[in-house]
Amino acid sequence: MWDFIKERHQQILYDGFQHVYLVVLAVAVATVVAILLAMLVTKIPRLSGVANTTSAIGLTIPGFALVGLLMPASGIGATTAFICVCFYAVLPILRNAVVGLQGVSPVLIESARGMGMGEAAVMARVRLPLAWPVILAGIRVSLQMSMGIAAIAAYVLGPGLGSYIFTGLAQIGGKNALNYALVGTLGVVVLALLLDLVLVLVGRLTTSKGIRV
């Protein structure tokens, strides 16, 4: 396998970068969308059940099924891959963001209002900072899941290491079939672990010392 990697190391690195870029971009967009939706749920509590149900149902949709549904509308390529990854990425973040924002003590919120803060200031300076560790946990779950979804999205010629896995499966019995599959699979796992480590460091830098676990 080492000879296989040496011969293709530049292409493997490029595809690995493409995989990370797709996932990070999709998770970043998903984080913004999920937090905005969670803020809406916080303002309208009766939407909480809808958000949780939507998250639960969405996670049961097979990746291949969603890719198949998207292809007629968005075609084959990076666009379909991005939409697919972004869809799944929103779900765990949304659930954690709702739980985190709703879990902020009403006493703290009332104290902030008593100090003259408006709703926007309370959200930005009280609710979001206190809910951030829970939200970040959802982002970490989302990132790990999205790495696998991005590999599935290679079925529609999405960028990344998933193409190695599909090539290996298509060439079962061939000379390099196992090498392709291993490089794709192990590459996704290694990149997922590295990105999770980055998020752990981000959490240490962005979470107030008073609420660190």
* Terminal CA-CA length for the chain: 42
What digits encode the pLDDT tens for the residues 172-200? 888 889 999 999 999 999 999 999 999 99
* Chain centroid, CA 23 distance in Å: 7
* Chain centroid, CA 141 distance in Å: 7
**Domain residue extents for the chain:** 2-211
Distance CA 40, CA 48 (A): 9
pLDDT recorded at residue 151: 93
Both tokens assigned to 66: 């969603």
CATH class of the domain defined by 2-211: mainly alpha
How much is the average pLDDT of 73-101? 93
Both tokens assigned to 199: 């998020």
Distance CA 171, CA 15 (A): 19
Stretch among 22-26, 29-33, 81-85, 116-120 having the lowest mean pLDDT? 116-120
pLDDT at 213 over 60: no
Distance CA 19, CA 13 (A): 10
What digits encode the pLDDT tens for the residues 145-178? 999 999 999 888 889 999 999 999 988 888 889 9
What digits encode the pLDDT tens for the residues 33-44? 999 999 999 889
Residue bearing tokens 């379909």? 80
Among 84, 80, 92, which residue's Cα sits nearest to residue 63?
84
